[in-house]
Amino acid sequence: METRFTFALGLALAAAQAFGAVYYVAVDGSDSAAGTKDKPFATLNKANKVVSAGDTVWIRGGIYDLHDTVFYERYKMTAGILLTTSGESDNKRIHYLAYPGERPIFDAANLPVAEGEEHSDGTPEGAMYTSPIVIAAKYLHLKGFEVRNTPMIHNSNSGIFIYASKHIFLEQIDSHRNADGSLPNVDFLKLKEGSRAIDKGEDAGLPFEGSAPDLGAFEYGSQVTSIAARPNRSTEMPGSAAVFDLLGRHLGTLQTMPKKPGVYLVRHRNFLQKMYIK
């Protein structure tokens, strides 16, 4: 088995070398290094500056802590990684690939987020959006890595934001928010105390808080959480809890609900939760 893997790895690396220059990025690399396998770069931002059409960047496994941003002036947003260098055609793409057998993880938990809650003033400090990876190029191929902890403090951002681009291949990419894959509990789109939109909606059969549904994406006073597996009834959801599907149809109690995987709304006392069953 080891011989077969070594042979396959050799073919993959040889094929990449045949079509252009090859660079490497690693967690313990340095952007002042040569970008070789033994002396890799530390960031994809450095790789973006040196690659040209037909080149390949192998990304070694490990957790890449995205703690600095690049300002993308054209769209007035900031990014942990900004890819702007383009390939030329299907046969001369720029490839950003996970090294065979390894898993690169780009973690945006420490990524600085701009304060542009309502508008952008055209500066990095006032940017409206911050994404871990922003693509503004043509003929790129990204494969085999994970993007997690996408910041959701002020606005809804994307793990990989593609702007003014075309011919982009994203393959085997796992992009999500919290490190465990769940959605964060943030204030974005949530009503504030005293809002005139509270209890001003029409009853459409979905659970709500107060005398009537609120106008907006969330019910004021509710909690929205994500549970990766079936909750423990004795600790996370004590007592009887009503379960609904996303169309508002009552399915019964948590104790009797079907075990079919999916997304459900669970109402218990004054809390409304979104529950993910695997």
End-to-end CA distance of the chain: 33
pLDDT at position 206 is 66
**158 in a domain, yes or no?**
yes
The pLDDT of residue 190 is 65
Q: How far apart are CA 41 and CA 59, in angstroms?
A: 9
Domains identified in the chain, total number: 1
Q: What is the pLDDT of residue 262?
A: 56
89 occurs within a structural domain: yes
CA dihedral for 259, 261, 262, 265, sign (positive or negative): positive
Q: Is residue 250 part of a domain?
A: no
**Residue 260 counted as domain residue:** no
Residue 131: beta bridge partners?
Answer: 79
Residues of 70-89 as b/e, b for ≥16 C-beta within 10 angstroms?
bbbeebbbbbbbbbebbbee
The DSSP H or E segment spanning 45 is helix 44-50
pLDDT number for residue 258: 45
With respect to residue 253, please indicate whether it lies within any of the assigned structural domains.
no
User: The domain containing residue 68 runs over which residues?
Assistant: 2-175
Record the tokens describing residue 262, joined without a space.
Answer: 């999916």
Is residue 203 a part of any domain in this protein?
no
pLDDT in tens, the chain (278 residues): 445 544 445 545 544 444 699 999 999 999 999 999 999 999 999 999 999 999 999 999 999 999 999 998 888 889 999 999 999 999 999 999 999 999 999 999 898 887 766 667 777 777 888 899 999 999 999 999 999 988 776 666 788 999 889 999 999 998 876 555 555 555 555 677 788 888 888 877 666 777 887 776 666 665 544 333 334 433 344 444 555 555 555 555 555 444 555 555 555 444 445 554 54
What's the pLDDT score for residue 132?
93
Is residue 74 situated within a structural domain? yes
Q: Give a yes or no: residue 83 inside a domain.
A: yes
> Contact, 257 vs 267, CB < 8 A?
no
Strands of the sheet containing 104-107, edge to edge, are 62-65, 104-107, 146-148, 174-175
